[in-house]
Structure 1
Amino acid sequence: MGTISSNEPLSSEPERRSAVEGLPPLLAEAFVLGGRECQSQVAASIPGEMPDRQFDSVDAYVDALSGQVALAVLSVELPDDRLERVVRETLRASEHARIVLVATDGAELLRCEVPYDDAFVLPADRESFDVAIEKLYVQAYYSLILDRYYRIGLAINNHDTTAEQDGESEDGKLRQWQAKHRRLRSYLDRFRQFLGPESFRAIATRGERFDDLVGSAGQQGNPSAIGLPESCPDCGLDWTTWHDSKLGTGHEQIGAKTWRCTRCGHTLADDDPKNYRIG
């Protein structure tokens, strides 16, 4: 499952301000699917550090999806079944993306049964819309950093356990993980200056809104087809079924022949369940 990037901007890009002071800008995109009115208002409200891509076709939108989407602004003029497909494919490609629905009529939003993070009737008050869009962007950024913080923490714990069993000493890679873990912790502390209780509640309960939709297609894994076991050899997580938007099917590809457990972080390399390393 793809993820948006929190690396520094590429040197070829113009310098961009981060929405969160003291943090590098998030290298991600906003995807906008809707008519001209939707596209024009949304484009003016997207944080300057994040480019937006505009679509008027569901197929073109879905084909362009990647793990770099932080915001998806979608018009409810689409039938619910097509809108559900767009939301589902967006979150499967980029699990931390925030979903915003827009309509030109409040009744359209009331009739829509597709889950979302926020919704607006256009034309919306510019100031309120700008604030809401930036808040959702920061929520996506926070969720990404929190996810990476816990994953690296698990990798450190797994390394400590393995090293203790094998009698190995601390190595350079472990020191790099520990430094990155401390840096991510400092990032999380900064987010508390920008996200209030309402945002943290929305983040904590997000799975209740989206998990059923993301897994509704009954996505099944077939790890044996690519030489993987049916469950994680370390924590036992089932790799043959869909769990939720965070765990996915339990395993994710992180290299040409390298797969990682989405719960414990252990990695299988070269399609050999017996030859694994910490991811």
Structure 2
Amino acid sequence: MNFPADSVVVFEENRTRGELYSLWLDEYDVDVAATKQEADAELDGAVVVAVLNQGFADGAASKLLEIVRSRAPLCRVVATRERSDPFPDLNVDHQLVKPVFEEELVDLVETLLCRANYHLALSRYYQTNVDLSSFEVHDGDHPPDRTEYDELQQRASKLQKFIASLTKEMEQEDIRAVKRDILLERDIEETHSTEKIDSKYRPRKCTNCGQRWDGNADGEPGVTQLGAYVWRCGGCGHVQMAADPSHQHVNRW
């Protein structure tokens, strides 16, 4: 995922309306999906904001939302609906009633992009400091790679400055919302639930170091669940995502 992230997808069957939204949001990297096949092609882990028409794909917005959450865990979602439609039972960040106006959509997407980047920056800052700590802990056992260590320090410094600049642009409620999400992730991380660890969505091994995640000799799992489809290796600290295979193709609805 590029950083800062600015990938936005508009899910709108009315292609004219979708292209209009894209024109309003041309400051960002915007794609429009008007069909299930186009939605399948556009959805990946880089998407950080989705503008979802409640009636998209013959009213299967809830199914699409599941796929968005599985493929792009950090994605913020705005649902749009006709005024005459019932209030949808969708777990989204914001609702907009049509007609949608340019100023409200642009302001809302900008706010959600800030939230997503703030979340991403905090997560990367945390992981970078974990990597720095790992260097310091093992410093006495092996000669440290000073080049990599210096690069990590520079990355941490840049992330810290970026986080500070974002907080100046964000409302306090937006900052609190992101921190609540991160606290929830930590709660999941600290919950030693066999049901979670044995999830069928868990990868068999770490893609970074190759350590198997079947448990160690002491019976403790070699992996920690950070989110519904997000895992951290207990050996190297690498974080990776794994989506439910049944969610891989939108055109199978």
User: TM-score by structure 1 length?
Assistant: 0.67
What is the identity, as a one-letter code, of the residue corresponding to 1:197? Q
One of 94, 103, 119 as aligned partner of 1:118: 94
Q: CA deviation at 1:180?
A: 0.7
Q: CA deviation at 1:178?
A: 0.5
Q: Percent of aligned positions with the same letter in both sequences? A: 15
Unaligned runs of 5+ in 2: 185-195, 240-253
Deviation per residue, 1:95-152 (Å, 9 max, x gap): 22211101122643x1x11211111012123322221111111111211111111111
What is the identity, as a one-letter code, of the residue corresponding to 2:231? G
What is the identity, as a one-letter code, of the residue corresponding to 1:120? L
What is the identity, as a one-letter code, of the residue corresponding to 1:229? R
Larger proportion of helix: 2
SS of residue matched to 1:266: coil
- Assess if the C-alpha contact under 8 Å between 1:62 and 1:90 holds in 2: no
What is the identity, as a one-letter code, of the residue corresponding to 1:203? V
Structure-2 residue corresponding to 1:229: 212
Structure-2 residue corresponding to 1:33: 11
Number of residue pairs the alignment of both structures matches: 221
Structure-2 residue corresponding to 1:257: none
Structure-2 residue corresponding to 1:143: 119
Note the aligned Cα RMSD (angstroms).
3.4
Structure-1 residue corresponding to 2:72: 94
Relative to structure 1, is the Cα distance of residues 202 and 249 closer, same or farther in structure 2, using a 3 angstrom cutoff? closer
Structure-2 residue corresponding to 1:266: 237
Relative to structure 1, is the Cα distance of residues 225 and 202 closer, same or farther in structure 2, using a 3 angstrom cutoff? closer
Structure-2 residue corresponding to 1:45: 24
In 2, the alpha carbon distance for the partners of 1:44 and 1:56 equals 15
Structure-2 residue corresponding to 1:198: 173
Structure-2 residue corresponding to 1:10: none
Deviation per residue, 1:209-235 (Å, 9 max, x gap): xxxxxx9xx6422416986422587xx
User: TM-score by structure 2 length?
Assistant: 0.73
Quick check: 1:175 aligned with 2:150?
yes
- Assess if the C-alpha contact under 8 Å between 1:243 and 1:250 holds in 2: yes
Relative to structure 1, is the Cα distance of residues 77 and 125 closer, same or farther in structure 2, using a 3 angstrom cutoff? same
Quick check: 1:5 aligned with 2:2?
yes
